[in-house]
Chain A
Amino acid sequence: MRPLAVAGVLAVAVGLLAALDRGIAAAISPTSAVVTLLGVLGLVQGVRYANARRDRRRLPTDPGEPERRAPAAVPGSDLDERIARVASAAPGSYRDRRDLRDRVREVAVDAVTRDRNCSAAAAAAAVDDGTWTDDPAAAAFFDSRSTYPLRIRLSAGIRGRSNYWYGLRAAVDEIGRIQGGAA
């Protein structure tokens, strides 16, 4: 850019001199084509500069909300964020999904153990083979062999969510139902 800047400074200097000394102005005496060219150049450059405003993110100082008390965290909101992260239909985040599934499974096994008054091993077996619930989506969440019902797969496809998300919600709902019945 340096040569361009030098050219710019020279042009301005010549312009100023021309304003003072008419002789220089008469010596330059540009043709109408050159003037048009300069006009086009000015217009194009001007529009280009003005456009810089368009995609610039303005970051004024934010005084925040001093009037509000520091908000408390709601228990489970971090989990909701994790669920939202793994809920996208895109594959990957396998480890996150597995960790979350293990967490839900632990609660499910505990709920079934108390509901059926059986051993933890029997409850774990029931959860793993899907016999712990009548809800096919909740069953499919833990059992890799059974598939999600067509209704869920369709709506997951349309809404761009994963089957996993529907399965997780169904499983948590089912645990709530079991615990509600047991309480």
Chain B
Amino acid sequence: MSDPSGAAVASESSESEQGGAEAGSAARKKADESNADEANADESNANDGVATGQVSETTVEGNETPGEGGDSTATASTDAPTDRERRREVATDRWLGIAGAALALVGLGVLVRQSSLLLAGAVGVGYAVYARAGDAPTPTLSVTRSVSDEAPAPGDEVRVTVRAVNVGETALPDLRLSDGVPPGLAVVDGPARVATALRPGTAVTFEYTVRAARGDHEWEPLTAITRDAAGARERSTALDAPTSIACTPELTAGGDLPLRGLTTVNHGRVPTDVGGAGVEFHATREYRRGDPLKRIDWNRRARTGELSTVELREERAATVVLLVDARESAYVAADPDAETAVEASVAAAGQAFSALLDGGDRVGIAALSPLDCWLPPGSGTVHAARGRETLATDPALAPTPSDGRFYRSLWLRRFRRRLPVDAQVLFFTPLVDDTAATLARRIDAHGHLVTVLSPDPTTTETAGQRLTTFERRQRLRSLRSAGIRAVEWGDDSFPVAVAAATRRWSR
């Protein structure tokens, strides 16, 4: 059922003060464009939409369910009021001083013996009483949030529809809803908020679009700000409507990194200094009985008459652990809106993970983070899927920093206990503090050869930023002089930087 009077209230209230109101009208304007989508789903909504737009207000009849978006998934029931948590109640001070002004008018009226002034003062008294009469209502809303795709690919646009029904007994003369968009997602279309008024039984719907990014994203509670009719008191309430999306990037192999000479006994592709079967020449030695005929150096036999055997460089598999720095200090970027170094590290780790698995090496994943993250080295398709899952959605590698303190020595002790003896470490870190460099050195000193791969998040605009850049360069240099391989990449892609660096390295 359409409800034109309710819609009028909504537009009235949205014109009153503040940014939230502007947001509401913007959403309304946008709504007219996509009314056609709604028409199929809900006739009454479409009729109403002409007046109210996408932020549509409808009277709920019985058990009517939200109709928009055929592929959307409802995450909360329409009838039951959503769990709420009262946050804060304050006086807005909008009418502060009105009683004083009224009294001053009355005083002036008495002083100059003018009854008209006295009367004007009485009007002020009326306002003062009006301001004190009501209290901000606690909203009893049933909030439904639905997303167009629960498992989008990175970069996909996900349409989010939020519908709030006033299932309480009281009218909400001034209601602002601000959605708790996950901090790792950016809204690309439409404000994630609305300002309206809701009588009991009416509903408001608003939509916005987010761009999906790697990770498990959970919506925070929706904030409802209600005011009384006079706008003198304000109450904020959190409404919990759990919704989440999981965005798991496909892993593509890239950055074919030459590993260092710490290998397992299994056959693989890392050339070693051990003579045996292989393709590359290693050494010649005296013939021993039983050496295969094809390995005998016949040229030498012809020249000197002695039998000798050619040894080839054995190629073996390695065990590699990809260690991603995800401490709070690693969540840095050259620009506040750019991708953080953790994102760059995780993307590069994904490429290395695929490339190494394809090459027959055993690969594991760990995070340098307050939260525990450990995928033991392994191989095979199941392991590949597990690795992809870990890199995409592990809480330790979340797109925003995790809470909690990082204890370096505790972490190192646990990491060393888990690390297989023959494992080498690819350490992805932006190197913006000394801890990362120290850890790289200590892990290397314990016999696990370390290669540091560092996305460059530094800029050189201010003195502080330049100093940080110099310090980071110094750290890279001192790591290299300590015999630890280090690659950094900034604007280049990771595989390009690896290819460029590899040319400089000896085995």
Nearest CB in chain A: distance from B152 CB, A:
16
A150 sits at the interface (CB 8 A)? no
Q: Report if B142 contacts A (CB, 8 A).
A: no
Is the CB of A168 closer than 8 A to any CB of chain B? yes
How far apart sit A2 and B30, CA to CA, in the bound complex (Å)?
58
The answer to whether B178 and A66 have CB atoms under 8 Å apart is yes
Residues from chain B with Cβ under 8 Å of A53 in the complex: 93, 96-97, 100
Query: Given the complex of chains A and B, what is the CA–CA distance between A42 and B183 in angstroms?
Result: 53
Chain A CB within 8 A of B179 CB: yes
A residues contacting the other copy or chain, number (CB 8 A): 54
Residues of B contacting A: mostly:
mixed
**Would you call A156 an interface residue if the criterion is a C-beta within 8 Å of the partner chain's C-beta atoms?**
no
Q: Are B468 and A79 in contact (CB under 8 A)?
A: yes
Q: How far is the CA of A46 from the CA of B118 in the complex (A)?
A: 13
Q: How far is the CA of A58 from the CA of B95 in the complex (A)?
A: 11
Do A66 and B462 touch across chains, with their CB atoms under 8 A apart?
Answer: no
Contact string against B for A residues 100-120, beta-carbon threshold 8 Å, 1 for contact and 0 otherwise: 000110010011000000000
Whether A52 pairs with B96 at a CB distance below 8 angstroms is: yes
**Complex: how many Å from CA A39 to CA B117?**
12
User: Which of B93, B457, B463, B474 has its CB near the most chain A CB atoms (within 10 A)?
Assistant: B463
Is A103 within 8 A of B100, CB to CB? no
Query: How near does chain B come to A159, taking the closest CB pair, in angstroms?
Result: 16
Would you call B466 and A74 a contact (CB within 8 A)? no
Within A63-102, the residues touching B (CB, 8 Å) are 63-64, 66-83
From A35, A52, A67, A107, B192 is in contact (CB under 8 Å) with A67
Shortest beta-carbon distance from B216 to chain A in Å: 15
The reply to whether B464 and A76 contact each other, CB–CB distance below 8 Å, is: yes
In the assembled complex, the Cα of A61 lies from the Cα of B179 at a distance in Å of: 14
Q: Is A172 an interface residue (CB 8 A)?
A: yes
Closest to B431 in A: A75
Say whether B473 faces chain A, with CB atoms less than 8 Å apart.
Answer: yes
* Interface check B169, CB cutoff 8 A: no
Within 8 Å by CB of B104, from A50, A67, A78, A107, lies A50
Q: What chain B residues lie within 8 Å of A48 (beta carbons)?
A: 100
Q: A175 CA to B473 CA in the complex, in Å? A: 12
User: Cβ of B463: which chain A residues have Cβ within 8 Å of it?
Assistant: 79-80, 83, 168-169, 172
> Are A39 and B110 in contact, with the CB atoms below 8 A?
yes
If A39-B111, A67-B186, A68-B186 touch, whether A46 touches B100 (CB-CB below 8 Å) is yes
A53 to B184, CA, bound (A): 40
Q: Which residues from chain A contact B467 at a C-beta distance below 8 Å?
A: 76, 79, 103-104, 107, 172
Asked if B185 contacts A61 (CB within 8 A), the reply is: no
A169, B331: Cα distance in complex, Å:
26
Say whether A72 contacts B180, CB under 8 Å: no
Other 7 A-B pairs with CB < 8 A, given A46-B101, A49-B99: A39-B110, A46-B106, A56-B93, A63-B193, A67-B186, A69-B213, A77-B465
Q: Show the binding face of A for B, using Cβ within 8 Å.
A: 35-36, 38-53, 56, 58-61, 63-64, 66-83, 103-104, 107, 110-111, 168-169, 172, 175-176, 179
Q: Residues of B with Cβ closer than 8 Å to A?
A: 18, 20, 87-88, 90, 92-93, 96-97, 99-113, 176, 178-181, 183-187, 191-193, 208, 213, 223, 225, 234, 236, 331-340, 400, 430, 432, 457-460, 462-474, 477
Q: Which 4 A-B pairs have the closest CB atoms?
A: A42-B107, A49-B100, A46-B104, A39-B111
